[in-house]
A and B are shown apart, each in its own frame.
Chain A
Amino acid sequence: MNHKMLKTISCGVLPLMTLAMVAGTATGAEYYLRAEAFTKNLPDPSGVGTIPIPMWGFALDDSFEGLELQAVSVPGPRLTVPAGDTTLTIHLDNNLSVPISLTIPGQITTKTPVFFTDGQGRQRVHSFTHETPAGNTTMVDYTWTGLEPGTYLYLSGTHLAVQVQMGLYGGVTIDAAAGEAYSGVTYDAEVMLLYSEIDPALHTAVDDGSYGTTGPTSTVDYNPKYFLINGEPYTSATLPMSAGAVGNRVLLRFLNAGLQTHAPNLLGMYMSVIAEDGNVYNFPKGQYSLTLPAGQTKDAIVTPSADGAYPLIDRRSDVTNAGGFSLGGMVRFLEVAP
């Protein structure tokens, strides 16, 4: 069995795929994710050295408890559902000390919420769907059928206030067809921009067990110090992101897995904002600024007319690393080739 990514043999061949779907044999995309704690080193605000932050993240394996294909990271591995597939299965291996689960807001699936009884005898939701217990020895599956194309987040669906900000999130993309994000929306190049934040105090408290006991009891005092795009804050060593070439239709996929609203502003170019939460707008919006609330995704097309490095800045001024001299945080340069 090819564990790397099980797909139908019909992948990419439309007539065959149609046949396969009619025959009911499409198996769709499969991924093996492993949740694990790790330490992330983020820049010290003094500009010298780093600060270790306890994180939870996802790694990509070739099979359940098999070989690691991609080390644990935040955000988790990007899951790309090949064009034409309408089913996604994630097999989950949980190496954390608490039960977790997976949801993809915007994709429809049957959920089986998990409840607990609180101190006053009330039934309360603990998880939006079935959980993967800590240290599971058999894999737990999460399956979505009838996938809709677009840009989505996958997130833990268990104790979200803690688990999502600890790092249990990632991006999943489903294209309508090869090089076509949505029906009729083609692109030549793409850039994925997943926004999130880190409040080191919460991470320390969750890690040392003081969260909910002697430390904070909720995220009400959330005060993020690090502002990440694709898991990293900007530093002077951050390389520009490749964003196609002059004349290309470049798809910018924006996702916000943080708890705060961000305002990406692109300098030097207008975006044609085409979709929100995986839903295509009736008419694209020509803007250089975006609203990117917590949990939302937005897709935009830019068609650069000149080469160069275009700054993309968070206009909420989350462009610092823990209060150090900027530029830091949510900044990237989009490099357009001639």
Chain B
Amino acid sequence: MRTHLHSKGTQFTVAVMAALALFATDAYAVIDGLTGSTFTLSAKDGYVLGGDGLSIYTWGFADDTGPMQYPGPTLIVNQGALVTVSLKNYLPEPVSIVFPGQEGVTATGGVAGQLTQEAPADNGATTVEYQFQASEPGTYHYHSGTHMDLQVEMGLVGAIIVRPTEFPIDQWAYNHTDSAYDHEYLFLLTEMDYDVHLMAEFGLWDQIDTTTFHPVYWFINGRNFPDTTLAADTPWLPNQPYNCLPRMHPGERLLLRIIGGGRDLHPFHPHGNNTTVIAKDARLLQSPLGTGADLAYSDYTITSLPGQTVDAIFEWTGAQLGWDVYGHAPGDPMEPFEYAPDHGKPFPVILPGQQELTFGGGYSGSPFLGAAGDLPPGEGGLNVYGGFMYPWHSHAENEIINNDIFIGGMLSLLIIEPHGTPIP
């Protein structure tokens, strides 16, 4: 029998939440990052943990005196702001920053490099200051403009979000209603060739040949699955503060901000429904200016090119599945955004008995949205609101691996939860 969680006693809910508190704490900001218009980034080294537990020597940008971060801090600025990024360098070779998609970037201080001014390897003594006007809203990124083939590989990359002038009066990504969203999530996609990191750790600079690139770890926001689904700022991942755990209620619009941060193409594949691609490189897909995303298109394998950013809207109501996702009887009241033609349609599967099953922690005991069922002692518990989980991952399936161990890599889960579930 189905049981709606929100109709159950609070005792059950509170107990489970207290015990697991995984998907429902207020610790989850939707897109974590630094806000404002003045930032100090320090290029530092440190270690990231692969999803298999391996410690990988990595370079990253830190928030000033903070720990090295992979990826670097997400800079969240407002359209029109004069953005100042000061760079200090604690790495063994010169570092710089370039800002693709920003026009009129100025760089002062430091030493002239080939693409821009560089901070020499002087343990933070020199500061280079980059400035630009965030003239257009959207999803951008920044990365090292020095010895790129090594330094981007080593981790010197981060995201930039420029909020439109309409924000936050309207929760839009661009100054048009076609970019309206209820929840936004970042998908900064990168990969690592572990051998390069190992040689860098041992200082074997002469042996590093970036033309033999062979990545074995694939990351979303600096983490491999299953770490992508852990809380942000998990204490045991001190250099990987960002998670990636998209959550939504049926009928809402979820904005994916996808950034090709590495050097490979990663076809990103959200399960559950198609997405609507509305923008690339921080420009709405539009014919004449001001027409909105009239050239948006529907896609389930989103091409994400190195250096490119893609914004897409995902929606889900359970429409046209051919069965009632809430497990309603025909006379039951409708849920918000429920697909009416399937109301009360029976689940087309005879569920096996409990003794014929093995259980994962994400199974609520019921196939229905927002429902829970009986589970054997000690099973379940990671899905207290009875959500549906969809894997969102690189469609290059070899990339959902942690150094030859399946499953991991460039993978996370979308959780669709019934209305009433708190989602930050």
Contact = CB atoms under 8 A, between A and B. Distances in A.
Interface of A: 45, 223-225, 236, 261, 263, 265, 267-270, 283, 285-289, 291, 305-306, 311, 313, 315-320, 322-323, 325-327, 329, 331
Contacts of B283: 270, 286-287
A318 B213 CA distance: 10
B223 interface: no
A315 B212 CA distance: 16
Interface string B183-215: 000000000000000000000000011111100
- Main secondary structure, interface of B, reads loop
B315 interface: no
B105 A315 contact: no
Contact of A263 (B150, B287, B306): B306
- Main secondary structure, interface of A, reads loop
Given A289-B308, A322-B211, A317 B303 contact: no
B100 A267 contact: yes
B211 A316 contact: no
Interface residues of B, number: 39
A268 B307 contact: no
B146 to A, nearest CB: 8
A221 to B, nearest CB: 11
Contacts of B22: none
B73 interface: no
Given A270-B281, A283-B295, A322-B211, A317 B148 contact: yes
B101 interface: yes
B19 to A, nearest CB: 45
B8 interface: no
B104 interface: yes
The 4 closest A-B pairs by CB, nearest first: A315-B307, A323-B209, A317-B263, A315-B306
B2 to A, nearest CB: 47
A323 B306 contact: no
Contacts of A327: 114-115, 147-148
Contact of A320 (B210, B264, B307): B210
A311 B113 CA distance: 12
A319 B113 CA distance: 15
8 contacts: A225-B211, A261-B265, A268-B103, A286-B283, A287-B280, A288-B101, A315-B308, A316-B264
Interface string B219-235: 00000000000000000
A319 B149 contact: yes
Interface string B80-123: 00000000000000000011111111000000001100000000
Nearest to B132: A268
Nearest to A234: B114
B259 to A, nearest CB: 11
A263 B308 contact: yes
B153 interface: yes
Contacts of A263: 260, 265, 305-308
Nearest to B113: A327
A273 B358 CA distance: 52
Contact of B147 (A287, A316, A325): A325
Contact of A316 (B98, B103, B263, B281): B263
Interface string B290-321: 00000100000001011110000000000000
B152 interface: yes
Contacts of B263: 315-317
Contacts of A320: 149, 210-211
Contact of B149 (A265, A288, A317): A317
A289 B115 contact: no
Contacts of B100: 265, 267, 288-289, 315
B211 A326 contact: no
Contact of B210 (A267, A286, A305, A317): A317
Given A270-B103, A289-B306, A320-B210, 14 more contacts: A45-B209, A263-B305, A263-B308, A268-B102, A291-B308, A315-B100, A317-B263, A319-B148, A319-B149, A322-B209, A326-B148, A327-B114, A327-B148, A329-B149
A291 to B, nearest CB: 5
B147 A326 contact: yes
A261 B305 CA distance: 10
A303 to B, nearest CB: 12
A100 B306 CA distance: 36
Nearest to B150: A326
A327 B210 CA distance: 12
B104 A268 contact: yes
Nearest to A225: B211
A288 B103 CA distance: 11
A329 B307 CA distance: 17
Nearest to A287: B281
Contact of A285 (B115, B213, B264, B280): B280
Contacts of A268: 102-105
